Structure 1
Amino acid sequence: MAIHGNTIGEVDEAPVASLPHDAADTDTLAVDPALVEEVRTGLQQQPKRLSSRFFYDAEGSRIFQAIMHAPEYYLTRSEYEILDTYKAELLELFAVGDRSFDLVELGAGDGLKTKILLSHFADEQADFAYAPVDISADALDGLVADVRSQWPNLRLNPRHDDYFNALEQLSEESDSRRVVLFLGSNIGNFAPDEAVDFYRQLHDRLHPGDLVLTGIDLQKHPAIIHAAYNDRQGLTRAFNLNLLRRLNRDLDANFDLAAFDHYETYSPETGEARSYLVSQKAQTVRIGALDIDVPFAWGEIIHTEISRKFTPAQIEQLAQQAGFRVVTSFTDCKGYFTDVVFEKV
């Protein structure tokens, strides 16, 4: 399935005609060097892989917004419920003794869930500043405009930067306690060693007593998890295939989207949901901007995403390995999802 605006239709794109590599004007392409390196290495190894970080071009972001409203995709609704139910308790944790704090959101996006907290904190006249951080300038500009229109008196300090640079800069500019939001179970997209390394880097940029509120998807019945990444509307399929569309546009590739399919697995033993693109025939794809040809066998995969699900014991272990302690956690009414408060010690 593919999404165009708010409509859904079958993928019926013909292969993009490729130019001879000496005729392609690659200098005029707005090529992300990280994407170039990812494709160069990822599509020439076995098994082939592409990082999920490249899902989120403009079309991918639109598709993901639709996914969040799909009936099978419980994650957004579960975390929304948690933040709405426990917003008062969270404010008490963040503003102990009425102290000021900086609310720093990593990967803020459209701030849908965070606005629950902003609204409550503003109503309670909490002494805080909001610092959304995002690598997407468009997403950040839209969020900032929306927040300013709703809460014109809110201290706003947006950062178009990567997470760790933004945290270092904020540390130099403010003596307030920092409360870092890392919502949406984004930590599930990291391999185990990468997750520990991420939190260690976060730990190194915080002061003792600073907090991290992390959204984490819990292990549960495998059918519930599998359905969340394999919805009946075909939204997740469209999201996965859009990665190939991006390579066609940005790297002068000629992927035939109709010749690839979306495949999802979930292992209750490892707690890992994995997404793949599967070649439906033997074919060769030209990546014009890289001047390479990539062969695919029938049934060959490209691994595109991992979404890990955690047990409470694994969450505790992750915090300890990174130098944090678990202060408390909040769970939705079904026990599907948890938001955990880490403190730097």
Structure 2
Amino acid sequence: MSPSAVNEILQGLSAPEKYISSKYFYDDKGSAIFQQIMEMPEYYLTNAEQEILAQQAAEIITETGFDGPFNVVELGAGDGSKTFELLSYLDSANREVTYVPVDISKAAIDGLAADFTKRLPRLKLNPKVGDYFEVLKDRLQSESNPSLLLFLGSNIGNYMPADALNLLRLFHQNMAAGDALLLGADLQKNPEVIRKAYDDPHGITRNFNLNLLDRFNRELNANFERDQFEFYCYYNPLSGEVRSYLVSLTDQIVDLADEQIRFKKDELIWTELSKKYSFQELEGMAQTAGFEVKKHFLDTRSYFTNSLWIKSD
């Protein structure tokens, strides 16, 4: 883990209200646990998005206006399961496409590349391991062919509103005129449906959060005791926010990267935000970031949207 990452973690755990950035969930083990989350029946987001991409792929590509060769750049690709149906359609339609999956997990990218080489042998693959902010800077504007940028799985909902807007502006800044962004976003709905997706009865989301502590033990010479923390989350339907926490079960001192972190009994570590959107919020974000909204593609239950935005200038 880089010195800047260590400093960020220490800063968060030393704050009056402790926090850990959700990006640290995704070491190789965390990425594997998240694959389990996506397979849970309660976690409707995966099936809703896959339904959209499987059943509306042709219309999505038509709406981009791309007639010739183009790139599909997926940020946070994981194992590629979110995108397989879309790429399968492009393959069957004999479209000339280069797929650029980007993920911080080398294991995820290696697995994706091996799987897609077997399942879609004609697909041009250019996988990238690393922070997708850096890949964006190096990649999009140097391309002669247009790009369809994929930010799926409601990843945008993990950012605070100002940070989400800054991220979208960064996308816009590094895209060429005419490039497209397909943004996955979870929509506001029955609060109980949302609660079950993030506080599952199988304990997988709990394990996902506690793996943060295991990761710090492995990589930062920390001595967190897993059984001295518990997972807690709640959904606020007025703000559309799911917030997840780890709760210290006792007064304790933890060593981490040559520092000592003090926890009081019942003190919280905020680990994740999962924002649920209205269409009005999405369209406002698009306009503020400089995009034109072409269309919201919905699943049959209207739980989820893949919204297609175009950079018009």
TM-score range, shorter chain: over 0.9
Q: Which residue of 2 aligns with 1:49?
A: 19
Note if 1:86 corresponds to 2:53: no
**Partners of 1:105 and 1:131 within 8 A in 2:** yes
> For structure 1, which segment, 311-320 or 292-301, has the greater mean C-alpha deviation from structure 2 after superposition?
292-301
Deviation at 1:36, TM superposition (A): 0.9
- Cα distance in 2 between the residues matched to 1:151 and 1:308: 34
Q: Which residue of 2 aligns with 1:337?
A: 304
- Cα distance in 2 between the residues matched to 1:245 and 1:66: 18
**Partners of 1:260 and 1:279 within 8 A in 2:** yes
Note if 1:222 corresponds to 2:191: yes
Q: Which residue of 1 aligns with 2:223?
A: 254
- Cα distance in 2 between the residues matched to 1:128 and 1:293: 51
- Cα distance in 2 between the residues matched to 1:129 and 1:323: 26
- Cα distance in 2 between the residues matched to 1:225 and 1:152: 38
Partner secondary structure for residue 43 of structure 1: helix
- Cα distance in 2 between the residues matched to 1:193 and 1:34: 22
Q: Which residue of 1 aligns with 2:146?
A: 177
**Partners of 2:31 and 2:105 within 8 A in 1:** no
- Cα distance in 2 between the residues matched to 1:91 and 1:325: 16
Matched letter for residue 240 of structure 2: G
Q: How much is the aligned-residue C-alpha RMSD, in angstroms?
A: 1.4
1:253-278 Cα shifts (integer Å, max 9, x gaps):
11111111000011111111000000
Distance change (3 Å), C-alpha of 1:224 and 1:318: same
Matched letter for residue 237 of structure 1: R
Deviation at 1:152, TM superposition (A): 2.2
1:249-301 Cα shifts (integer Å, max 9, x gaps):
111111111111000011111111000000111111122x2x22211111110
Structure number with larger C-alpha Rg: 1
Q: Which residue of 2 aligns with 1:301?
A: 268
**Partners of 2:28 and 2:105 within 8 A in 1:** no
**Partners of 1:95 and 1:101 within 8 A in 2:** no
Deviation at 1:172, TM superposition (A): 5.3
Distance change (3 Å), C-alpha of 1:62 and 1:242: same
Q: Which blocks of at least 5 consecutive residues in structure 2 are unaligned?
A: none
Note if 1:64 corresponds to 2:34: yes
2:239 to 243, 246, 270: 270
Query: Percent identity over the alignment?
Result: 46
Deviation at 1:95, TM superposition (A): 5.0
- Cα distance in 2 between the residues matched to 1:142 and 1:269: 40
Normalising by structure 1, report the TM-score: 0.87
Q: Which residue of 1 aligns with 2:285?
A: 318
Note if 1:125 corresponds to 2:114: no
Normalising by structure 2, report the TM-score: 0.96
Matched letter for residue 327 of structure 1: K
- Cα distance in 2 between the residues matched to 1:53 and 1:223: 26
Matches within 5 A, 1:91-240: 91-96=61-66, 98-171=67-140, 173-240=142-209
1:1-27 Cα shifts (integer Å, max 9, x gaps):
xxxxxxxxxxxxxxxxxxxxxxxxxxx
**Partners of 1:282 and 1:297 within 8 A in 2:** yes
- Cα distance in 2 between the residues matched to 1:150 and 1:245: 34
**Partners of 2:71 and 2:147 within 8 A in 1:** yes
Partner secondary structure for residue 122 of structure 2: coil
